A = this chain, B = another copy of it.
Amino acid sequence: MSDAVAGRLLARKGEILERLKALLRLPSVSADPAYAAGMAATREFLMARLRQAGLADVRLLDGGGQPAVTAAWTGAPGRPTLIIYSHYDVQPPDPLDLWTSPPFEPDIRDGRIYARGASDVKGSTLIAIETVAAFLEAGGCPVNVRFFLEGEEEIGSPSLRSLIERHRDALAADAVLSADGGRASTRLPTVNVGSRGLARLDVTLRTAEKDLHSGRYGGAVRNAIHELARLLATFHDEEGRIAVPGFLDDLAPIGARERADAAALGLDEAAFYAAIGAHPWGDPAYSVEERLTLLPSIEVNGMWGGYTGAGGKTVLPCEAHAKITMRLGPGQDPSRVQRVLCDHLLARAPEGVTLHFEAMGGGTPAFTLAEGHPLLVAAERVIARTTGRPPVRARIGGTLPVAAIFREMLGLDTLMFGFAMPDEDIHAPNEFFRLSSLEEGLGAWPLLLTELGTMEPAAFRAGAGGAQAERASTKTLL
């Protein structure tokens, strides 16, 4: 049946593309309250499509923040039940002036659809929805499905735990398929076996009670920007190794299999840097692929202080700010690295400099899908069939908080089966999604559901038992 379903999907590709454009026109930015109407419209859009497709129990789940969209089809008794996870929120679109076409007016150029959220992750989300819709239209799905589309992934999923806690009934399942978590290569077929974790820390530094005039105070009072710069300058050594004492202490040793998998991707390092106009950097003991997926990183995502408007202002700023996130490698505890970074900053702040810390949302540990897990077996079979080549096992450098949290709270493992490519400028201006990926996804998802439908529900849980469990944490620093 999956071939018939795939054929049906490809035949209506034009209709699905129009639906994707409509979805991309809805500005679902979760980080900024100004986009509340866009968030609500996106939820309505998804619920309408799920209802139209014949799913039951289409509704919003409230977890205290942005609600999640759910829908279920349980017409395959005895067959596995899979949560189909994705997120409907997108990153903020700014800086707006760097977009070639407006971020919420999808524009097709050279076989690509440009819009905020096209790659991350409305394209892959729609592939999953349309696949289930086509199965139901053809009489039924080979597995039971429960959609769970959250609205806070781009802000660190702060209420995901309370969503799960409050709505366990809507999430009874054997495993999770994630439409998020893209492919690791534009050249090779890959299957995702893990992701990095994430921890956040906001820092405010003060040196005086008020902003001062540089003519009256310059040379005798600490400048908050200078002081914050001095602190941020200590995160890495000259070559790019993390230089925060203790930061790497709980990083799991990187094994031969992991290094071999990373090498199998055959990343062209020169082309990698040339594509973004950057120069090689990072821990020289590791390949670029290893740095990006197995090692942690520390990034200041934003920093500001003083006068940043038009013209000049001779102010001596008393306050400066940094928004910091850390990507975590396997084994690292988010709360611990947050604390280590705070301690590092506090130890280096001179007298007269005060620091205030705020952590935004809970941290997420790295996730790893165990060797031999039925999700992995099914994915490898499908990808081998659709691409004609056995896929390379890859980890993503990004974070899927849901994978760690589903494992911890529901004992479920997650397969990332998204179709985003790594060069699609997600989180940046001119984000795009390949139209060819839309087609590939619509071919592969029916096969995947069919393959999973042949497996015994208990097999997923057995696999989970053997997985490398890592505790997810949402503790925030006070």
Q: List A residues at the B interface (Cβ < 8 Å).
A: 30-33, 91-92, 94-95, 98, 154-156, 196, 198, 200, 207-223, 225-226, 228-230, 232-233, 235-236, 238, 240, 272-273, 276-283, 288, 291-292, 295-297, 299-318, 320-323, 325, 327, 350-353, 360-361, 396-399, 422, 425-430
Contacts and interface: CB of A to CB of B under 8 A. Distances in A.
B303 A225 contact: yes
Given A297-B218, A425-B210, A305 B306 contact: no
Given A308-B302, A310-B31, A314-B427, A279 B222 contact: yes
A217 B32 contact: no
Given A92-B309, A229-B232, 10 more contacts: A155-B312, A209-B277, A214-B325, A219-B327, A221-B281, A226-B235, A229-B229, A230-B233, A279-B350, A315-B427
Contact of A215 (B92, B196, B277): B196
Q: Nearest 6 A-B pairs (CB), nearest first?
A: A279-B352, A215-B398, A31-B311, A209-B277, A219-B297, A218-B297
A280 B288 CA distance: 45
B429 A311 contact: no
Contacts of A361: 312
Q: Is the interface of A mostly helix, strand, loop or mixed?
A: loop
Contacts of A300: 223, 225-226, 229, 305-306, 317
Looking at A33, A207, A309, the one whose CB has the most chain B CB atoms below 10 A away is: A309
25 contacts: A31-B310, A91-B313, A92-B311, A94-B307, A98-B210, A212-B276, A212-B428, A213-B428, A215-B396, A215-B427, A217-B397, A218-B299, A219-B283, A221-B281, A221-B282, A223-B299, A228-B229, A230-B233, A278-B318, A299-B314, A301-B316, A302-B306, A303-B304, A312-B361, A315-B427
A292 B218 CA distance: 6
A220 B282 contact: yes
A212 B240 CA distance: 17
A220 B398 contact: no
Contacts of A278: 207-209, 221-222, 318, 352
A272 B221 CA distance: 10
Residue with the greatest number of chain B CB neighbours at <10 A, chosen from A232, A282, A426: A232
A307 B323 contact: yes
A201 to B, nearest CB: 10
B311 A30 contact: yes
Contacts of A308: 302-304, 321, 323
A229 B303 contact: yes
Contacts of A306: 300-303, 323
Contact of A233 (B196, B214, B229, B301): B229
Contacts of A397: 215-219
B295 A221 contact: no
B299 A427 contact: no
Given A228-B229, A300-B223, A352-B279, A211 B312 contact: no
A216 B267 CA distance: 13
Contacts of A156: 312
Contacts of A221: 273, 276, 278, 281-282
A304 B304 contact: yes
Contact of A225 (B217, B230, B232, B277): B232
B210 A292 contact: no
A229 to B, nearest CB: 4
Contact of A313 (B31, B211, B309): B31
A220 B352 contact: no
Contacts of A217: 276, 292, 397
A399 B360 CA distance: 43
